[in-house]
Homo-oligomer: A and B are copies of this chain.
Amino acid sequence: MRSYGQYCAVAKALDVIGDRWNLLVIRELLLRGASRYTDLQGGLPGIATNLLAERLRALEQAGVVTREEAPPPVATTLFSLTERGAQLAPVVRELARWGAPLMAERGDGEAFRAQWLAMVVRLSLVDRLPDRPPVTVELRADGEAMTVETAGGGVRTRPGPAEHPDLVLSGSAERVVGVLAGRLDVRDLDHEGDPEVLRRLRPERAAA
């Protein structure tokens, strides 16, 4: 990218990560940890392969991303964030917070990955009863699964289905988002298990 040429902390940050797709590449690496090229591609529908390659190269050069060759049995390349790159988490979090209200409507033909729900889940769910035994919720949005577990007063997320979920919620991505945001009730989704579990995870007063 062309530099803004400004001696300003914001401009200099954007000189490094302001290029198109960069912050979404970082989102994927934050959500998935060390990833293969094709997995990144899968999590970034719409990116052209030459751009993904170019962005990874540039981010590596900037010290945000590292590339490690796994040894022969695995024989694949893994991309991860450096420590410096992981410090971008607050930037991505605040972008997600600001963008969350825009999730109220789904644009025509917008792609979806269950992983992406994690950005919203971490902002909109807490554990209000941290002394009780931990609970696990499985979210199935548009058929893709994601797991939410209570941990230290907050929640953790993992890709894929849960092993022994206390509650499974499933429905369209829009409805799952609606329930997370507090705009819809659990009853607007198909559920299996104890629906009370979700009330435990919702903040005192539902946020916008």
CB<8 Å pairs between A and B, sample of 5: A7-B107, A8-B119, A9-B103, A13-B96, A14-B24
User: Interface residue count for A (Cβ, 8 Å)?
Assistant: 48
Q: Residues on A close to B: CB < 8 A?
A: 3-16, 18, 20, 23-24, 27, 45-46, 87-88, 90-100, 102-103, 106-107, 109-113, 116, 119-120, 173-174
Q: A8-B112, A91-B91 are in contact. List 16 more A-B contacts (CB 8 A).
A: A5-B45, A5-B46, A7-B110, A7-B173, A8-B113, A9-B100, A9-B116, A10-B23, A10-B116, A13-B96, A13-B98, A14-B23, A15-B102, A91-B94, A93-B94, A94-B94
Copies in the complex: 2
Q: How far is the CA of A107 from the CA of B87 in the complex (A)?
A: 23
* Nearest CB of chain B from residue A58's CB, rounded to whole Å: 15
Could you tell me if B99 and A12 are in contact, using CB atoms closer than 8 angstroms? yes
Q: Which residue of B lies closest to A30 (CB)?
A: B10
Could you tell me if B95 and A6 are in contact, using CB atoms closer than 8 angstroms? no
Q: Which residue of B lies closest to A106 (CB)?
A: B7
**Contacts of A3 on B, CB cut-off 8 Å?**
107
**Contacts of A14 on B, CB cut-off 8 Å?**
23-24, 95, 99
Q: How far is the CA of A103 from the CA of B106 in the complex (A)?
A: 39
Q: Which residue of B lies closest to A91 (CB)?
A: B94
**Contacts of A9 on B, CB cut-off 8 Å?**
95-97, 99-100, 102-103, 116, 119-120
